[in-house]
Every structure is written in C-alpha cells, then in structure tokens.
C-alpha cells in the first residue's frame, strides 16, 4: 500500500510542475491561465495528501522506526514541492503577462 502512495505522490508532484509549463503555449488570453494554475495547485495538494495517507498507514502498521527514518525526507520533499509549484506558476504567470503586454 505504501508503494502506491509514494508513486501517486511522485506522479502528482510532477504533474503539479508540468502543468504550468504546458500551459505556457496553450493560454490564449490572460484569464485562461487561472484554470491551469488552479489545477497545478490541486495536484500539489493531492500529492501532499497522499503523503499524509502514507504516514497514517505507517502509524497503523506500527512502523515507527520506518516513520522516524523517513519523516525528515518527507518534510524536505514537501517543502521542495510547494516552493517548486509556487515558483513554476510564478514564472509562467510572468511569462504570460509579458507576452500579452507585448501584444497591446
């Protein structure tokens, strides 16, 4: 069960970073960017939720040693995921804003 949580969290985290990058070329107006940003943050939240479920699973099976060994890495990965998601969305926001201001 723990493997599925980890794989799902990794895939959702990668999707949270890939969606803003893919939105760069697809956005036709400045307002269209918001749905991609929202979807990106939803993937980020879902990835973090899967990590919480994995922690819960480890507590249920009483694998406290494994939990104590990995909790530091999980916290670092969560911070990197959140900062990376904000960073990617911010860069794409600035890119799209600059692109549409140049058209005016």
The domain ranges of the chain are 2-103
Phi/psi of residue 29, nearest 5 degrees: -140, 165
Query: How much is the pLDDT for 17?
Result: 95
pLDDT beneath 70: ranges in the chain: 29-30, 103-104
Query: How much is the pLDDT for 2?
Result: 82
- How do residues 17-27 score in pLDDT, each as one tens digit? 999 988 887 77
Question: Which residues, 6+ apart, have CB-to-CB distance to 27 below 8 Å?
Answer: 33, 36, 96
Query: How much is the pLDDT for 103?
Result: 64
Asked if 96 and 34 count as a contact pair (C-beta separation under 8 A), the reply is no
Separation CA 95–CA 25 (nearest Å): 10
Query: How much is the pLDDT for 97?
Result: 82
Q: What is the pTM of this model?
A: 0.87
Query: How much is the pLDDT for 104?
Result: 61
């Amino acid at each position: 069960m723990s493997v599925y949580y980890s794989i799902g969290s990794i895939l959702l985290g990668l999707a949270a970073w890939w969606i803003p990058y893919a939105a760069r070329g697809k956005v036709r107006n400045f307002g269209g960017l918001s749905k991609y940003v929202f979807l990106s943050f939803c993937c980020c939240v879902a990835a973090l939720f899967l990590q919480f479920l994995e922690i819960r699973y480890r507590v249920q099976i009483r694998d406290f040693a494994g939990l104590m060994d990995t909790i530091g890495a999980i916290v670092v990965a969560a911070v990197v995921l959140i900062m990376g998601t904000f960073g990617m969305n911010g860069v794409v926001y600035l890119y799209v804003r600059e692109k549409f201001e140049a058209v005016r």
